[in-house]
C-alpha cells in the first residue's frame, strides 16, 4: 500500500484534479435542473406582486396589493382555516393509527407478513382512483357505506355532500390512501430497534405497555416525527385527492389552499393571485417543515 502510494504520487495530483472535474460534469445536469426550477419558482413569486390576469395586456407591479386583498378575502381565510383543520385532523387520526398498525404487524408471523404485504396496496393506487372509489361508496342515497350502516341499525351520513362532514370525509379518504406510507416508515423504525433492549425490559417484569411507553416509544420518536413531517407537508398541499372528489365544495368546506390556487389560476384566469396564494402556502409548509425538522433532530439526539 505504501509502495503503491509512493509510485503513484507524481501522478496523484493530476488524476485527482481530473476526478474532480468529472464530478463537476456529473453534477452539471442536476445543477441546471435546480437552477431551472428555482428560476421558475422565483419568477412565479415575482408575478404575485403584479396585477397579471389573462385579460390584462400589460400587467404592472402592484406591490403587496394581492396579499392585502387575500387576507381580507373571506374565501381565502375560510380556505386557510380548512387547510389547517385538515392537517390537524390528518395528524390526530393518522399518527396514532399508523403507530397502532405498525405495532400490530411487527414481529414475524404468517398473518402479519400477509398484512405487511397488503397494506402497501393503497400506496400504489392513484389518489384520484382512491378518491372516486370512496366517493362511490359514500353516496348518501345509494352508496354501500350508508347501506351497511343502516343494516346494522346506525343512521347513515351525508358524507361528502354536507359542508359539516365533507372535510372529515376527505380526511377519511386521505387516511385510507396514505396511512400505509406512515405505517411502513414506523415499521422500519420498529424493526431497527435493538431487540435485546426490549427483551431485557420484559425479563425485568415490565408489562407490555410500560415497555412500549418507556423504551420503544422514545426510540421510535424520530420515525414518528419524520412521518409527521411528511404528512404535514403533503396534507398542506393536498390537491389530487380533493379535486376529483369535491372540487372544493360543498360551500368551500374543502377548498384547501392548493385547490384555491388552482382555481384562481385556471378558472378565474388570475395567475398573480394564484401565485400569492401558493406563496403563502409555501411559507406555511416551509415553516412547518423547519419546526418539525428541528424537533426531529432533538428526538434523534435524545435517542443517542
| Residues numbered 24-63 forming contacts with another protein, rule: CB under 8 A | 24, 26-27, 29-31, 33-34, 37, 40-41, 43-44, 47
> Going residue by residue from 130 to 159, which x/- string records binding to another protein, judged by CB under 8 A?
x-xxx-xx---xxxx--x---x--------
* 67 binding another protein? (CB under 8 A): no
Which CB, 180 or 216, lies closer to another protein? 180
The span of 59-67, 163-171, 195-203, 256-264 binding another protein (CB under 8 A) equals 256-264
Which CB, 86 or 181, lies closer to another protein? 181
* 192 binding another protein? (CB under 8 A): yes
Return the bridge partners of 61, or none.
50
Q: Residues 6, 14, 20, 209: which binds another protein (CB under 8 A)? A: 20
Residue closest to 225 by CA, chosen among 301, 288, 302, 292: 292
Helices (H), the chain: 2-47, 65-71, 74-105, 110-118, 121-124, 127-137, 144-151, 166-192, 195-203, 208-211, 217-236, 257-266, 271-303
> Going residue by residue from 101 to 130, which x/- string records binding to another protein, judged by CB under 8 A?
x--x------x---x-xxxxxxxxxxxxxx
Q: Residues 189, 211, 228, 248: which binds another protein (CB under 8 A)? A: 189
* Rounded (5°) CA angle 228-115-146: 80
Smallest distance, another protein to C-beta of residue 164, A: 22
Total residues at interface with another protein (CB under 8 A):
86
Q: Which positions ≥6 away from 289 have C-beta within 8 Å? A: 229, 232, 233
The CB density around residue 202, as the number of other CB atoms within 10 Å, is 13
* 22 binding another protein? (CB under 8 A): yes
Smallest distance, another protein to C-beta of residue 68, A: 20
Please identify which residue in the block is written with the cell numbers 417543515: 289
* 266 binding another protein? (CB under 8 A): yes
* 289 binding another protein? (CB under 8 A): yes
What gap in Å lies between CA 104 and CA 194, rounded to an integer? Answer: 18
Contact 254, 163 (CB under 8 A): no
Return the bridge partners of 50, or none.
61
What residues between 214 and 243 interact with another protein by CB under 8 A? Answer: 223, 226, 230, 233, 236-237, 239-240, 243
Amino acid at each position: 500500500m505504501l509502495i503503491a502510494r509512493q509510485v503513484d504520487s507524481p501522478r496523484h495530483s493530476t488524476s485527482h484534479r481530473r476526478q474532480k472535474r468529472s464530478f463537476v460534469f456529473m453534477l452539471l445536469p442536476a445543477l441546471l435542473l435546480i437552477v431551472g426550477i428555482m428560476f421558475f419558482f422565483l419568477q412565479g413569486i415575482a408575478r404575485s406582486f403584479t396585477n397579471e390576469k389573462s385579460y390584462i395586456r400589460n400587467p404592472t407591479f402592484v406591490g403587496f396589493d394581492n396579499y392585502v386583498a387575500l387576507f381580507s378575502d373571506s374565501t381565502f381565510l375560510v380556505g386557510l382555516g380548512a387547510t389547517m383543520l385538515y392537517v390537524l385532523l390528518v395528524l390526530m387520526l393518522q399518527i396514532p393509527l399508523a403507530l397502532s398498525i405498525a405495532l400490530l404487524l411487527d414481529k414475524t408471523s404468517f398473518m402479519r407478513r400477509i398484512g405487511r404485504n397488503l397494506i402497501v396496496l393503497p400506496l400504489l393506487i392513484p389518489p384520484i382512483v382512491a378518491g372516486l372509489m370512496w366517493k362511490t361508496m359514500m353516496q348518501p342515497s345509494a352508496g354501500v357505506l350508508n347501506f351497511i350502516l343502516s343494516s346494522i341499525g346506525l343512521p347513515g351520513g351525508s358524507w361528502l355532500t354536507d359542508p359539516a362532514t365533507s372535510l372529515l370525509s376527505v380526511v377519511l379518504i386521505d387516511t385510507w390512501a396514505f396511512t400505509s406510507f406512515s405505517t411502513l416508515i414506523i415499521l422500519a423504525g420498529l424493526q431497527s430497534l435493538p431487540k435485546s433492549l426490549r427483551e431485557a425490559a420484559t425479563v425485568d417484569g415490565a408489562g407490555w405497555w410500560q415497555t412500549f411507553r418507556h423504551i420503544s416509544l422514545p426510540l421510535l420518536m424520530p420515525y414518528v416525527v419524520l412521518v409527521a413531517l411528511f404528512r404535514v407537508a403533503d396534507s398542506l398541499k393536498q390537491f389530487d385527492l380533493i379535486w376529483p372528489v369535491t372540487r372544493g365544495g360543498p360551500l368551500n368546506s374543502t377548498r384547501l389552499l392548493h385547490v384555491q390556487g388552482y382555481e384562481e389560476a385556471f378558472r378565474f384566469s388570475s395567475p398573480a393571485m394564484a401565485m400569492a396564494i401558493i406563496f403563502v402556502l409555501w411559507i406555511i409548509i416551509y415553516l412547518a417543515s423547519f419546526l418539525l425538522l428541528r424537533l426531529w433532530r432533538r428526538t434523534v439526539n435524545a435517542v443517542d
